[in-house]
């Protein structure tokens, strides 16, 4: 049994089927990639997993527990964390305070004895934001904002980390550093799910990649297999692609 | 008609959301009567470029020229009246209005309702049967037809199509592109953004690939076809400079 | 059966009026996204204008109707849209609400200016003397015409929205504003039209209701609460449901008055019925989706401890100065600066930090005052604790149904609560719930004993003044402590993004509930202290409309900081009474100012204090200015105490000395403030001040007008 299992999840918005029987899983200690064209349903799937969107049918299972209709808050407390494609930062607070809020919340429900101030400092170092730790997040470029969101999620010590386009807005050097960071997180035992349009990055770091198209998983497998998969090529390049 | 007359021209366009920069100096020309395809992965800035072209978004630098005139800062409704018609991403329709009411909205460009309906229903007979239905309750393909009908009903000079194929079955996409080809033959200039490459390459005269807010390749569809897999699936990460 | 039919007719005609007003509300809300709290006030203004033309000037009916409904009302709408509401797009929901509340307060002020309150003005019923019979029931001409007008309005709205191009465009703008403009429609014109129509509908409602009530600006404006309930039943979207809701509301009200009149304690229930119904509706409508991040121009810097203590010390010093220089009568008047300041402070954590809204601050203050009046026999300070706890508990209870909904619903829920207290609860005689004997205002007014701490009674105006200034200073420090705590950070985080907070594991409802209770508790304490100043309290001291300027001016002053609360206290209880002293004209201006200030908020969402503080910061950095202040102000005060001059010289000197210091300090160090930040490095200095980046090439090219940007886009 994988750490995170998504079984037959469907979401219907009016007449449109945004997700159509999606089944996939993410293993602890691995980075799982999720790619697909715009509108394929990746962010919707994240919303379903974190409880921000209830599915029309299907189940989300974390550590062999069916999450049913649990609220986002309860899911977070079970070890689920995410970042957002459209940044959801606490714009009135500094980088340090953003992460501190998360560390404090974690402490309040987990009973952890760790000093949240120290947790925050280690997270700042981990994501590499030491130089801008006191800056208001409003003043940072997107790439760094995404790192703040990452640091904030990490401060809740998640088992499953869902990253929605974390590398967009990062320049090439930042992306290289980011890939290294992702590998470290997986090595710590986290199940990392990566939605990213920088496919090069996905192919580089992921153990497995799922391809979503029209709300369905059209391919799953190792990156090398995905890159030559006929269905994937068709989805990305159209049915007539060679 | 002269093939080489630029009708819609984008020069050195830069644009940003808040402080997030999306376009870093993009040049693109749509000649009279030609079909230009703009391709590229998610988040490359294609939609942003279209928004700038039709006036929904002001560029932070650069110029938009339409029929030789600089139209930066002209409001979208004004550009619509002057002949730039945009079919936005994700169904450019009003879901809570009936099909007929959707078409009625087009009469703001100065075309009569009967004329709009004639054009729309001739190209898309299925819409005539559904004229009283709420647009949001139709199938995805029918909604996209309505969106295109809306875009075409005013006999625009430039038709801008954003992600026509999004969320649609391939068979319907092919059907829609046949109509695009017909429209192009009737002399309308078309700028189309797509992720699905091959469906659009069949009808395009020129194509450009956009990655990370830059146009990285530009040429005939044949020249570009081989590059696409790289740009999308990143077999060899490709972010090098332009070659105009 | 006869009686039932009679009251049904009454109910339908009342409901018809609500329906007309509420449909205007829905129209503007859906097309512009602004919930118009002033809808009732606009109707009120039209009713007054109609009275003026038709009754006072005896113009023909048709002319009066034409001018008030088709000229005045649309003009008001167009003015509101172009002059006030445009440019509010990138502000928070709180700012937008406050602007429309400012409009409400401003319009009431305007009406009271033009039409002197207290004079009886009546509009006779339309078609009076004409009756129609249905079975054995008589229907008056007025009732019939009201119902007929509602039917016509419904029909015209339906035809307009369904069959005219403009109507279709209005619905299209609701669906997708950007797409509407791509179609060539002009969304701005559509918005303006929606405002004009909304105002005309408000005007129709106002004129129709005028014969049923005495014309009074406040009462008429508050009819809106009844219309709100109807609009909420329509979920602020659906016109048919809004009409249905209005009819249910009108009938409920009529039946209550028909069948409940016998017991005096329940008589008020009829008046409070719409508010209570609104509350019930809030309970049953489905939860709204979690809010994501919102754009806003707001910026609240973190307060420093040193600054806060200086602030607190200055407040207490001001209290001492006022206590030693003012006459007893003036001290009673101006001590309210600080007690109203405490009420404003209660809004800082709730509205400023957490981004929630409450329109019931003064109601909680009333509860606090009652608690202290009845339980604080002899001024027992322990009763202050109860004056915190009981309003806090009530506040939590009130907020619970609305918290899972978005801001506008919480505002409406609290407004409904405040109105229900005004119209019903506060007017109840003593009653018992089981063993508990509940005493309220005892059908009039209740005495409040002055606070008595260890035998020291704060029973003179001077002692009171010092007491309230100290209380304000202490509560300010507490509020700053909240801001600087983990809890305060959490509130600000929640304000920025509820979705992110939920996915981090924060209990949103619990957090909102706690801050609402905290705010209600502070209001309660403020109310108790205000009560000890007033000595005798009555429901009028704590009514809904009087509470609105407190919110308005705190937001105008700067809702994110304790300075904003002081601003509210000083302007409401200090400056406005001073202005009123200048004469009748100025008193009228003073009545208008809070509204104008609220309406002007769109220009500066961070509040005035934020700007003022920049001035004071320059003092802090310019030592001579500090020394000057430390010497001059006490000196001015001591000279006054020594009787060298009177208050007429003293207060101008007192105000002038810091103003002079700020001006001087700003002039002196103004030039030093422009330390260049990274963004502002001039192009030609790039590469010298900071490392040269590839992106700088592009910027340089642009500056030089070179278009070949693509050349530089290298790997």
Of A80, A89, A100, the CB nearest to C293: A89
Contact C715 B27 (CB under 8 A): no
Higher pLDDT residue, C120 or C541? Answer: C541
CB A39 within 8 A of CB A47: no
pLDDT at A119 over 80: yes
The rounded percent of chain C whose pLDDT value lies above 90 is: 37
- Within 8 A of C486 by CB-CB distance, chain A residues are 100-101, 104, 116
Residue C148 corresponds to which tokens in the numbers above? 């007929």
Q: Is C163 helix (H, G, I), strand (E, B) or coil?
A: helix
Task: Pick left, alpha or beta for residue C447 (phi over 0 → left; psi -120 to 50 → alpha; otherwise beta).
Answer: beta
Residue C31 corresponds to which tokens in the numbers above? 């097309």
Determine contact: B108 vs chain C, CB below 8 A. yes
pLDDT at B93 over 70: yes
- Within 8 A of B166 by CB-CB distance, chain A residues are 37-39
Q: Shortest CA distance to C550 belongs to which of C399, C343, C334, C363?
A: C343
Average pLDDT over residues C217-221: 84
Determine contact: B242 vs chain C, CB below 8 A. yes
Higher pLDDT residue, C301 or C441? Answer: C441
CA distances from C429 to B195, C390, C697 (A): 72, 20, 79
The band of C710, judged by pLDDT with boundaries at 50, 70 and 90, is very low
What pLDDT is recorded for position B32? 86
Those chains having 3 or more beta-carbon pairs within 8 angstroms of chain C are A, B
Lowest average pLDDT, out of B66-75, C35-44, C396-405, C502-511, goes to C396-405
* DSSP state at residue C351: I
What pLDDT is recorded for position C243? 94
Backbone angles phi, psi at C535, to 5 degrees: 70, -40
Contact A89 C500 (CB under 8 A): yes
pLDDT at C639 over 50: yes
CB C356 within 8 A of CB C374: no
CB A40 within 8 A of CB A214: yes
Q: Shortest CA distance to B42 belongs to which of B237, B211, B225?
A: B211
Which residue of A44, A51, A77, A92 to mutate against C (max C Cβ within 10 Å)? Answer: A92
Which residue of B21, B94, B143, B147 to mutate against C (max C Cβ within 10 Å)? Answer: B94
Chain B segment 30-89 residues within 8 A of A by beta carbon are 41-43, 89
Tens digits of per-residue pLDDT, C693-708? Answer: 555 555 555 445 444 3
Residue C362 corresponds to which tokens in the numbers above? 């003064």
* DSSP state at residue B4: T
Determine contact: B167 vs chain A, CB below 8 A. yes
CA distances from C36 to A177, C101, C127, C177, C408 (A): 51, 8, 32, 20, 11
Smallest CA–CA distance from C496 into chain A, residue: A90
Where b means 16+ CB within 10 Å and e means fewer, C123-135 reads: bebbeeeeeeeee
Higher pLDDT residue, C125 or A45? Answer: A45
The rounded percent of chain B whose pLDDT value lies above 70 is: 86
- Work out the angle at residue C372's Cα, subtended by the Cα atoms of residues C371 and C378, and round it to the nearest 5 degrees: 140
Q: Strand B35-39 to strand B189-194: parallel, antiparallel, or no bridges (unpaired)?
A: parallel
What pLDDT is recorded for position C44? 93
Contact B229 A14 (CB under 8 A): no
pLDDT at C2 over 60: yes
3-state secondary structure string across C355-393: CCCCCCHHHHHHHHHHHHHHHCHHHCCHHHHHHHHHHHH
What pLDDT is recorded for position C197? 95
Q: Is A42 helix (H, G, I), strand (E, B) or coil?
A: helix
Tens digits of per-residue pLDDT, C582-599? Answer: 888 888 888 888 888 888
Q: Which domains does chain A have, with CATH numbers?
A: 1-79+159-242 (3.40.50.300), 91-157 (no CATH)
pLDDT at C262 over 80: no
Residue C501 corresponds to which tokens in the numbers above? 């907070």
pTM summary value: 0.83
Which residue of B41, B42, B197 to mutate against A (max A Cβ within 10 Å)? Answer: B42
pLDDT at C679 over 50: no
Average pLDDT over residues B169-185: 82
Determine contact: B139 vs chain C, CB below 8 A. no
CB C359 within 8 A of CB C418: yes
Q: Roughly how many angstroms between the first and final C-alpha of chain C, as a whole number?
A: 87
Contact A77 C298 (CB under 8 A): no
Lowest average pLDDT, out of A38-42, C81-85, C680-684, goes to C680-684
Higher pLDDT residue, B192 or A15? Answer: B192
Which alpha helices (DSSP H) does C600-646 contain, by range?
A: 608-620, 623-641
For helices C93-114 and C39-51, give the axis angle rounded to 10 degrees: 20
Higher pLDDT residue, B124 or C678? Answer: B124
Tens digits of per-residue pLDDT, C106-117? Answer: 999 899 889 988
Residue C213 corresponds to which tokens in the numbers above? 């009530």
pLDDT at C249 over 80: yes
Backbone angles phi, psi at A6, to 5 degrees: -115, 120
Contact B196 A238 (CB under 8 A): yes
Contact A168 B195 (CB under 8 A): no
What pLDDT is recorded for position C624? 79
User: What is the least distance, in Å, from the CA of C679 to any CA of chain B?
Assistant: 12
Determine contact: A187 vs chain C, CB below 8 A. no
What pLDDT is recorded for position C66? 95
Q: Is A57 helix (H, G, I), strand (E, B) or coil?
A: strand
Lowest average pLDDT, out of C281-290, C497-506, C633-642, goes to C281-290
Mean confidence (pLDDT) of chain C: 84
> Quick one: how far is CA A21 from the chain centroid?
20
Average pLDDT over residues B1-13: 77
Q: Which domains does chain C have, with CATH numbers?
A: 2-259 (1.10.3470), 305-620 (1.10.3470), 681-715 (no CATH)
- Give me the long-range contacts of A108-114 (CB less than 8 A, separation at least 24): A109/A77, A109/C505, A110/A77, A110/A157, A112/A157
CB C22 within 8 A of CB C228: yes
């Amino acid at each position: 049994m994988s750490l995170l299992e998504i079984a037959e999840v469907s979401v219907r918005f009016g007449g449109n089927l945004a997700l159509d029987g999606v089944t996939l899983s993410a293993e602890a200690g691995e980075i799982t990639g999720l790619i697909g064209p715009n509108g394929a349903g990746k962010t919707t799937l994240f919303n379903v997993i974190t409880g921000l969107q209830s599915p029309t049918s299907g189940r989300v299972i974390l550590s062999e527990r069916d999450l049913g209709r649990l609220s986002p808050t309860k899911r977070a407390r079970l070890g689920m964390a995410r970042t957002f494609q459209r940044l959801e930062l606490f714009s009135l607070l500094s980088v340090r305070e953003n992460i501190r809020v998360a560390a404090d919340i974690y402490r309040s429900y987990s009973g952890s004895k760790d000093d949240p101030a120290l947790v925050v400092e280690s997270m700042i170092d981990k994501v590499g934001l030491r130089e801008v730790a006191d800056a208001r997040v409003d003043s940072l470029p997107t790439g760094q904002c995404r790192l703040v969101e990452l640091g904030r999620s990490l401060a809740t010590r998640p088992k499953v980390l869902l990253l929605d386009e974390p590398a967009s807005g990062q320049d090439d050097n930042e992306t290289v550093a980011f890939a290294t960071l992702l590998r470290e997180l997986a090595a710590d035992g986290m199940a990392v799910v990566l939605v990213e349009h920088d496919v090069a990055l996905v192919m580089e770091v992921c153990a497995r990649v799922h391809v979503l198209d029209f709300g369905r998983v059209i391919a799953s497998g190792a990156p090398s297999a995905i890159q030559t998969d006929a269905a994937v090529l068709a989805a990305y390049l159209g049915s007539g692609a060679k | 008609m002269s093939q080489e007359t630029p009708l819609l021209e984008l020069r050195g366009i830069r644009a940003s959301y808040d402080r997030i920069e999306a376009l870093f100096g993009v040049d693109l020309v749509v000649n009279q009567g030609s079909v230009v395809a703009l391709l590229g992965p998610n988040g490359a800035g294609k939609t942003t470029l279209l928004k700038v072209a039709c006036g929904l978004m002001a560029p932070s630098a650069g110029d938009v020229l339409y029929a030789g005139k600089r139209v930066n800062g002209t409001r979208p409704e004004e550009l619509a009246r002057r002949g730039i018609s945009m079919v936005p991403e994700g169904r450019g329709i009003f879901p809570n209005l009936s099909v007929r009411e959707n078409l009625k909205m087009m009469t703001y460009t100065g075309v009569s309702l009967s004329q709009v309906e004639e054009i729309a229903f001739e190209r898309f007979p299925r819409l005539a049967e559904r004229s009283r239905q709420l647009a949001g309750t139709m199938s995805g393909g029918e909604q996209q037809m309505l969106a295109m009908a809306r875009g075409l009903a005013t006999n625009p000079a430039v038709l801008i199509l954003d992600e026509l194929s999004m969320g649609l079955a391939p068979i319907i996409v092919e059907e829609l592109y046949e109509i695009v080809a017909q429209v192009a033959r009737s002399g309308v200039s078309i700028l189309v953004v797509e992720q699905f490459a091959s469906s659009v390459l069949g009808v395009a005269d020129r194509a450009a690939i956009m990655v990370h807010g830059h146009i990285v390749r530009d040429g005939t569809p044949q020249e570009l076809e081989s590059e696409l897999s790289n740009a999308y699936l990143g077999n060899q990460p490709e972010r090098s400079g332009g070659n105009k | 059966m006869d009686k039932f039919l009679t009251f049904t007719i009454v109910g339908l005609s009342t409901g018809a009026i609500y329906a007309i007003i509420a449909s205007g509300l829905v129209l503007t809300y859906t097309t512009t996204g602004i919930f118009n709290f002033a809808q009732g006030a606009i109707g009120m203004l039209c009713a007054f204008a109609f009275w003026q033309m038709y009754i006072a000037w005896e113009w023909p009916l048709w002319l009066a109707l034409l001018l008030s409904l088709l000229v005045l009302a649309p003009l008001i709408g167009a003015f509101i849209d172009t002059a006030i509401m445009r440019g509010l797009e990138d502000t928070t929901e709180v700012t937008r609400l406050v602007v429309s509340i400012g409009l409400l307060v401003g319009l009431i002020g305007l009406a009271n200016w033009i039409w002197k309150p207290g004079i009886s003005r009546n509009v006779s019923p339309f078609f009076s003397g004409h009756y129609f019979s249905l079975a054995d029931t008589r229907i008056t001409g007025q009732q019939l015409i009201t119902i007929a007008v509602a039917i016509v309005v419904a029909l015209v709205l339906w035809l307009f929205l369904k069959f005219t191009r403009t109507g279709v465009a209005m619905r299209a703008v609701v669906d997708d504003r950007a797409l509407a403009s791509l179609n060539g429609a002009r969304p701005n014109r559509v918005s303006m039209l929606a405002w004009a129509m909304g105002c005309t509908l408000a005007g129709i409602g106002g004129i129709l209701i005028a014969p049923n009530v005495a014309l009074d600006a406040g009462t008429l404006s508050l009819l809106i609460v009844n219309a709100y309930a109807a609009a909420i039943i329509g979920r602020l979207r659906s016109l048919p449901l809004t009409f249905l809701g209005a009819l249910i509301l009108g009938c409920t009200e009529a039946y209550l008055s028909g069948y409940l009149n016998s017991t005096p304690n329940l008589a008020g229930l009829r008046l409070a019925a719409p508010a209570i119904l609104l509350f019930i509706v809030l309970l049953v409508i489905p939860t709204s989706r979690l809010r994501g991040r919102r754009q806003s121009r707001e910026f609240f810097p973190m307060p420093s401890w040193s600054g806060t203590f200086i602030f607190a010390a200055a407040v207490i010093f001001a209290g001492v100065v006022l206590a030693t220089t003012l006459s007893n009568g003036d001290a009673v008047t101006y001590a309210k600066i600080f007690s109203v300041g405490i009420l404003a402070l209660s809004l800082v954590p709730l509205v400023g930090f957490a981004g929630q809204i409450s329109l019931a601050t003064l109601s909680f203050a009333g509860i606090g005052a009652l608690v202290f009046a009845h339980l604080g026999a002899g001024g027992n300070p322990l009763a202050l604790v109860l004056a915190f706890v009981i309003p806090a508990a009530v506040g939590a209870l009130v907020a619970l149904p609305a918290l899972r909904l978005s801001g506008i619903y919480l505002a409406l829920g609290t407004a409904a609560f405040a109105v229900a207290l005004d119209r019903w609860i506060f007017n109840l005689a003593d009653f018992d719930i089981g063993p508990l004997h509940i005493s309220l205002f005892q059908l009039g007014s209740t005495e409040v004993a002055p606070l008595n701490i260890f035998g020291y009674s704060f029973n003179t105006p001077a002692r009171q003044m010092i007491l309230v200034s100290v209380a304000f200073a202490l509560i300010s420090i507490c509020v700053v402590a909240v801001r600087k705590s983990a809890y305060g950070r959490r509130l600000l985080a929640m304000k920025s993004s509820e979705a992110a907070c939920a996915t981090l594991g924060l209990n949103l409802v619990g957090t909102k509930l706690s801050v609402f209770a905290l705010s209600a508790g502070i209001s309660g304490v403020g109310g108790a202290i205000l009560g000890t100043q007033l000595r005798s309290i009555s429901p009028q001291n704590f009514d809904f409309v009087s509470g609105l300027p407190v919110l308005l001016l705190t937001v105008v002053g700067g809702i994110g900081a304790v300075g904003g609360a002081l601003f509210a206290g000083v302007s409401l209880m200090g400056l406005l009474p001073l202005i009123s002293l200048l004469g009748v004209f100025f008193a009228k201006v003073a009545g208008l100012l809070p509204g104008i200030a609220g309406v002007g908020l769109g220009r500066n969402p961070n509040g005035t204090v934020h700007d003022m503080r920049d001035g004071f910061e320059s003092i802090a950095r310019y030592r001579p200015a500090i020394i000057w202040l430390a010497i001059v102000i006490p000196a001015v005060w001591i000279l006054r105490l020594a009787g060298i001059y009177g208050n007429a010289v003293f207060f101008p000197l007192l105000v002038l000395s810091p103003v002079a210091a700020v001006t001087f300090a700003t002039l002196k160090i103004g030039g030093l403030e422009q330390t260049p930040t990274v963004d502002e490095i001039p192009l030609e200095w790039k590469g010298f001040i900071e490392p040269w980046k590839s992106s700088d090439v592009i910027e340089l090219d642009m500056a030089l007008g070179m278009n070949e940007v693509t050349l530089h886009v290298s790997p």
